[in-house]
Amino acid sequence: MKTIKLLFFICVACSFSQCSTLKLTEKAPFTITGASYHNWVGGQPGVRGINLIIGLEEAENTEFVSIYFNNRKVKAFTETRKGKKYIVVNIDTSRKMVYVEQTVKVRKGQPMPKIKPPKGQHKTFPFTLKSDEAVICYKQKKQFFYYKISNIKKTETIFYP
């Protein structure tokens, strides 16, 4: 009986420690100079995505790991353009085409095959965000932190030929 109580206590303690790792920080060690995103549509049917660009200052000794935006977690990349540092993220929102006729014979009354969510899209998203909010996961001294950005400006959609 004591082992069961001990195991239960360990499980509860682990679950609380897991929640604390996704706690948002109040103040980041870097400065956000601006953030914007735009949708893009490719030349092929169903090909589309979102580009998110976040301007940074004073971001030395900070490793940017990922961005949580639009119910997706995406790897963060930093770029330097004209002497300024940015986090640039491209989120693929394309629908995966399923050619049922070539793979499965579907008869009337049979259910369609289930499609897995695209890579990076979570069934349970760890944050509650508005459409103009994102969370940056960054690393300093082998420790992960999460910082929320609000008021991300949406710009016009870009259509590629």
Full pLDDT tens readout for the chain, 161 residues? 556 655 555 554 544 444 444 688 889 899 999 999 999 998 888 889 999 999 999 888 899 999 999 888 999 999 999 999 999 999 988 875 444 444 445 555 666 555 555 555 545 678 888 989 999 999 998 899 999 999 999 999 999 88
Nearest CA-CA partner of 39 in 131, 159, 157:
157
Q: What per-residue confidence (pLDDT) applies to 102?
A: 42
Other beta carbons within 10 angstroms of residue 33's beta carbon come to 13
The whole-model pTM stands at 0.69
The domain ranges of the chain are 22-154
Query: What does the pLDDT read at residue 18?
Result: 44
**Rounded CA separation 144/142 (Å):** 7
Longest dimension (CA), the chain: 68
pLDDT at 19: 43
What is the model's pLDDT at position 10? 57
What confidence score (pLDDT) does residue 93 get?
A: 86
Q: Please give, one letter per residue, the 3-state secondary structure of 68-92.
A: EECCEEEECEEEEECCEEEEEEEEE
Q: What pLDDT does 49 receive?
A: 92
